[in-house]
Amino acid sequence: MKTLNLASRKISTDFPAFVMGIVNCTPDSFFSGSRGGAERAFELIGEGADILDLGGESTRPGSDYVSAEEEIKRIVPVIEKIRRKSDIPISVDTRKKSVMQAAFNSGADILNDISALEDEPELAFFAAEKKIPVILMHKRGIPSTMQADTEYKNIFNEVSSYLEQRAEFAIKNGVEKEKIIVDPGIGFGKNLEGNLNLISNCGSLCGGKFPVLMALSRKSCIGQVTGREVQDRLFGTLAADLISVLKGAFMVRVHDVAPCKDTLAVLKSLLKYESV
């Protein structure tokens, strides 16, 4: 049984991992199927998503940041529409305190910060005050330039050390240790070899001190392995998600909730007989 404490309630799943469904409230996210608002959200709820992750700023390689005002305009109306019909936990993919404040006031539950609280450190105080979980991600540089430098001496050790340092920063600023989730940032300033290394060893990040989110869905590393374009990377994604869960991932962030849930349902059934 996996559990996660939100500000005022606890969520749980008896699947091997939580499934977070992606709702991109943007016109330029790399997979067009993820774009949309409340309609997309309700589709993913119907498919069995445990959590929704809403983003109003594309962070795909080569993308440009947008203003806080634009992010708020994109995501808050969607959160409000979801909350009229559903209490599903909502994560917000943002680096900005003003955006998270507006989202939280509209009913959001989780902060998903690709800058790991570096871009606006005061976000740590806000998360601590509101007692919300925080997802801390590793990246190198900014999206518009991050693929220009993908060489590391030891990528696993460097990513793990960075995430542990950022988790320590969050804890020192009042975030509860139990509410920190780490994400190695697959595709964010990494080459294929580095991405595959991190996927294969994800459960050992930070020495296993924090639950791990893996966001692999339809990413370029899947395309590099399979030779397929983004619209045809579902099967490769399912394989990568399955391996990451077997290696210890606590949560997977996906575009395709129903196929992922089916994969984890089969895994759950098979694991019952692991020691037979």
Tell me the three state secondary structure of residue 82: helix
Residues 81-99 as b/e (b if ≥16 CB within 10 A, e otherwise) read: bbeeeeebbbbbbbbbbbb
- Compute φ and ψ for 52, nearest 5 degrees: -110, 140
Residue 57 region by backbone torsions, left for phi larger than 0, else alpha for psi between -120 and 50, else beta:
beta
- Compute φ and ψ for 275, nearest 5 degrees: -100, 5
CA distances to 139, 156, 180, 200, 239 from 246, rounded to whole Å, are: 24, 18, 21, 9, 11
Contacts of 275 (CB under 8 A, 6+ apart): none
CB atoms within 10 A of CB 125: 14
Rounded distance, CA 265 to CA 256, Å?
Answer: 15
Out of 74, 96, 253, 261, the active site residue is 253
Is 40 a catalytic site residue? no
Is 172 a catalytic site residue? no
Task: With CA atoms as reference, report the closest residue to 190 among 229, 216, 226.
Answer: 216
Residue with tokens 């019909």: 85
Out of 74, 140, 219, 233, the active site residue is 219
CB atoms within 10 A of CB 181: 23
CA angle 59–63–66, rounded 5-degree value: 75
Q: Are 117 and 100 spatial neighbours (Cβ–Cβ below 8 Å)?
A: no
Residues that are catalytic: 219, 253
